[in-house]
């Protein structure tokens, strides 16, 4: 059972920090004063009356979505690079060739995105 024991300390630290965070959040609502004020509970917009938000309107740039999508793709590339790197010495030149092929293919996609302006924020 050695391997589960390795995770036991992580669990202990997790419980400790969760306990601390929960206690802080609860304590914060107990220690502070409570004076009702209608304006205080409004959304903060630098002191002016909050602008009413249109329902379903006022969207954001789609760029953010694209960034998240690029992130997933490169994340997947990274998780393949890790075991490859760790096992590299036993894979040798063959492993290198495989990874070059893989990276080049992803790089083509990357170049396409660059060319299409997917990496520009302006």
Partner 1 sequence: MSVHTLGRLPLAYQPAGTFGTDPWWLVVLKAVGIFVFLVVMTLLAIWWERRVVARMQHRIGPNRVGPQGLLQSLADGIKLALKEDIVPRAADKVVFVLAPVLAAVPAFMAYAVMPFGPQVSIFGHRTMLQLTDLPVAVLYVIAVTSIGVYGIVLAGWSSGSTYPLLGALRSSAQVISYEIAMGLSFVAVFLFAGSMSTSQIVNQQTNLWFAIPLLPSFLIYATAMVGETNRAPFDLPEAEGELVGGFHTEYSSLKFALFFLAEYINMVTVSTLATTLFLGGWRAPWPLSLVGVDPAHPEGLLNTGWWPVLWFIAKINIFIFVFIWLRGTLPRLRYDQFMRIGWKILIPVSLLWILAVAAIRALTLDITLDRRTLFVWVGGVLAVVFVVSLAWDTLAERRGAAGAQDVPAAGFDPMAGGYPVPPLPGQSLPAYADLAVSPVSARAGSAEPDGTRDPVEGDDA
Partner 2 sequence: MNAAVTVVFALLGVLAVGSALLVVTTRQVVHAALWLVVALGAVAGCYLLLRAEFVAWVQVLVYVGAVVVLLLFALMLTKAPIGVSEDLDAGLAQRVVAAMVALATGALLVTVLVDGFSGEVIDQGATGGAPAIGASVFRSWVLPFEVLSVLLLAALVGAIVLSRRDVPGAGAADSVAGGR
Residues lying near partner 1 in the complex (CB under 8 A): 2-3, 5-10, 12-14, 16-18, 20-22, 24-25, 27-29, 31-35, 40-46, 50-51, 53, 60, 64, 67-68, 70-71, 74-75, 78, 81-82, 85-86, 88-90, 92-93, 95-96, 99-100, 103, 107, 110, 114-117, 119-122
Which tokens hold the place of 108? 């083509």
C-alpha–C-alpha distance, residues 72 and 106, integer Å: 13
Shortest reach from residue 84's CB to partner 2, in Å: 5
Considering CB distances under 5 to 8 angstroms, the limit depending on partner class, which of partner 1, partner 2, none binds residue 47?
none
64 touching partner 2, by CB under 8 A: yes
Whole-angstrom distance, CA of residue 78 vs CA of residue 76: 5
Site string for partner 2, 21-50 (x = CB under 8 A): ------------------------------
Cα 108 vs. chain centroid, distance in angstroms? 25
User: φ and ψ at 67, to 5 degrees?
Assistant: -60, -45
Alpha carbon distance 32, 39 (integer Å): 18
């Amino acid at each position: 059972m050695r391997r589960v024991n390795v995770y036991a300390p992580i669990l202990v630290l997790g419980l400790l920090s969760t306990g601390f965070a929960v206690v802080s959040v609860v304590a914060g609502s107990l220690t502070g004063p409570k004076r009702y004020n209608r304006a205080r509970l409004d959304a903060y917009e630098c002191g002016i009356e909050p602008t009413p938000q249109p329902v379903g309107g006022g969207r954001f740039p789609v760029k953010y979505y694209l960034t998240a999508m690029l992130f997933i793709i490169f994340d997947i590339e990274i998780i393949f690079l890790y075991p490859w790197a760790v096992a590299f010495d036993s894979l040798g030149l063959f492993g290198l060739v495989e990874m070059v092929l893989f990276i080049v293919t992803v790089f083509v996609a990357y170049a396409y995105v660059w060319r299409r302006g997917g990496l520009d924020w302006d």
